[in-house]
C-alpha cells in the first residue's frame, strides 16, 4: 500500500541535496533573518528522507537509476 502511495522516485544524490537544502532553509528560522519562511524547509527534508516526491509521483517522473 505505501509503495503505491510513496514510491521511491528520487536519486540518492538528489535525496541528500534535498535534506541539506531543507536544513539550510530551516536554519533561517533560528539564525540569519529569523523569518518563518524557513519552515518551508521541512518539505524538502521530509521528501529527501522518504525518497519520494509527491509531485514526481503525480507527473510520473523519477530520477532513480533504472534497474538493469
Is the residue at 66 inside a domain? no
Q: Note the pLDDT of residue 8.
A: 93
Is the residue at 3 inside a domain? no
Q: Which domain holds residue 32?
A: 10-59
Q: How confident is the model at residue 65 (pLDDT cuts 50, 70, 90)?
A: confident
Beta strands in the chain (DSSP E): none
Is the residue at 45 inside a domain? yes
Q: How does pLDDT run across 2-61, given as a tens digit for each residue?
A: 778 889 999 999 999 999 999 999 999 999 899 999 999 999 999 999 999 999 999 999
Q: Note the pLDDT of residue 68.
A: 67
Range 15-45 burial, b when 16+ CB lie within 10 A, else e: beebbeebeebbebbeeeeeeeebeebeebb
Is the residue at 52 inside a domain? yes
Say how many domains are in the chain: 1
Amino acid at each position: 500500500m505505501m509503495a503505491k502511495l510513496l514510491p521511491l522516485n528520487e536519486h540518492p544524490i538528489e535525496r541528500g541535496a534535498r535534506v541539506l537544502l531543507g536544513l539550510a532553509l530551516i536554519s533561517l528560522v533560528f539564525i540569519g533573518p529569523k523569518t518563518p519562511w524557513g519552515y518551508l524547509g521541512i518539505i524538502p527534508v521530509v521528501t529527501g528522507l522518504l525518497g519520494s516526491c509527491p509531485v514526481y509521483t503525480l507527473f510520473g517522473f523519477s530520477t532513480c537509476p533504472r534497474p538493469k
